[in-house]
């Protein structure tokens, strides 16, 4: 038997249990119930968000939102220098001014390159239908059937792309949250049943069930249940 990192499951070299492992273990329990059609039988999770008929709050926790966008608009202020004095002084002043303008112009151009920009922290509620981030400036509602693409680019990071209903066009966001794997699995089960990560169980770390067993914790076979459900 191997541990969660493919190593022999011996007491001396079992990787330590981490806080993220607790979230993943709970995630497996939730996903197993969702696949089995038993989400409505779970104990309700307190949440302040509005739930639609047939919707159940399954988890709640911290999240940080990032949006793929350009930090600037390409504008900058070009300065003009009028220098008086010796030719050497005037030439130096004009050269310094030109260098300063060039730096500002290059910085403005770099500001047009989209990148992952932080929007701040909030609380995310995960239901069987969507994930909702409560945030004073950048709230977010991600309904599974409204997403165009989903991914798990890193542990604890959920990524999605969609058409914004408020007129902001096509958007890509990331949520850094310990519930990233849960959000991904529920979105895939609902709207992306052919996603490679769902069909291979790669929304969990390799050998996660064995990692749990090595620490004396039982992990429901949620990844296998999902694969079996959507391969038939």
Do the Cβ atoms of 116 and 124 come closer than 8 Å?
A: no
Q: Is the pTM of this model over 0.75?
A: yes
Position 59 in a domain: yes
Q: Which two tokens stand for residue 184?
A: 């991904």
Q: Are residues 86 and 173 in the same domain?
A: no
Q: Are residues 85 and 154 in the same domain?
A: no
Q: Are residues 79 and 191 in the same domain?
A: no
pLDDT, average across residues 189-208: 96
**Considering only 4-13, 45-54, 170-179, 210-219, which range has the smallest mean pLDDT?**
4-13
Q: Are residues 159 and 200 in the same domain?
A: yes
**Considering only 17-26, 168-177, 180-189, which range has the smallest mean pLDDT?**
168-177
Q: Are residues 130 and 83 in the same domain?
A: no
Percent of the chain residues past pLDDT 70, beyond the cut: 75
Domain span including residue 29: 16-70+119-231
Q: What residues have CB less than 8 Å from 162, skipping those under 6 apart?
A: 142, 146, 147, 148, 170, 171
Q: Which two tokens stand for residue 77?
A: 């202020």
Position 11 in a domain: no
Note the pLDDT tens digit of each residue in 57-97. 999 999 999 999 987 565 656 565 544 545 664 455 555 55
CA pair distance 11, 216, nearest whole angstrom: 11
Position 106 in a domain: yes
Position 57 in a domain: yes
CA pair distance 209, 226, nearest whole angstrom: 15
Percent of the chain residues past pLDDT 90, beyond the cut: 64
Q: Are residues 205 and 123 in the same domain?
A: yes
Residue 77 CB: number of other CB atoms within 10 A? 7
Size of the chain in residues: 232
Q: Are residues 29 and 106 in the same domain?
A: no
**CATH code of residue 126:** 2.30.29.30
């Amino acid at each position: 038997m191997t541990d969660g990192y493919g190593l022999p499951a011996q007491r001396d070299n079992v990787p330590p249990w981490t806080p993220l492992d607790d979230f993943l273990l709970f995630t497996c329990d939730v996903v197993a119930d969702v696949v089995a059609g038993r989400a409505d039988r779970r104990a309700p999770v307190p949440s302040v968000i509005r739930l639609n008929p047939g919707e159940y709050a399954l988890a709640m926790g911290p999240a940080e939102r990032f949006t793929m966008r350009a930090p600037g608009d390409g504008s900058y202020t070009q300065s003009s220098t009028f220098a008086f004095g010796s030719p050497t002084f005037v030439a130096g002043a004009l050269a310094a001014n030109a260098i300063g303008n060039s730096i500002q112009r290059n910085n403005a151009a770099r500001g047009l390159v989209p990148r992952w920009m932080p929007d701040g922290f909030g609380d995310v509620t995960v239901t069987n239908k969507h994930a909702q981030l409560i945030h004073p400036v950048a709230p977010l509602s991600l309904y599974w059937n409204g997403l165009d693409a989903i991914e798990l680019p890193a542990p604890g990071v959920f990524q999605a792309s969609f058409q914004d209903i408020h007129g902001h066009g096509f958007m890509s966001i990331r949520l850094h949250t310990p519930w990233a794997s849960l959000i991904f699995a529920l979105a895939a089960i609902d709207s992306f049943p052919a996603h490679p990560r769902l069909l291979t169980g790669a929304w969990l770390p390799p050998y996660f069930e064995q990692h749990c067993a090595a620490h004396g914790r039982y992990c429901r076979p949620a990844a296998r249940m999902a694969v079996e459900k959507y391969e038939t």
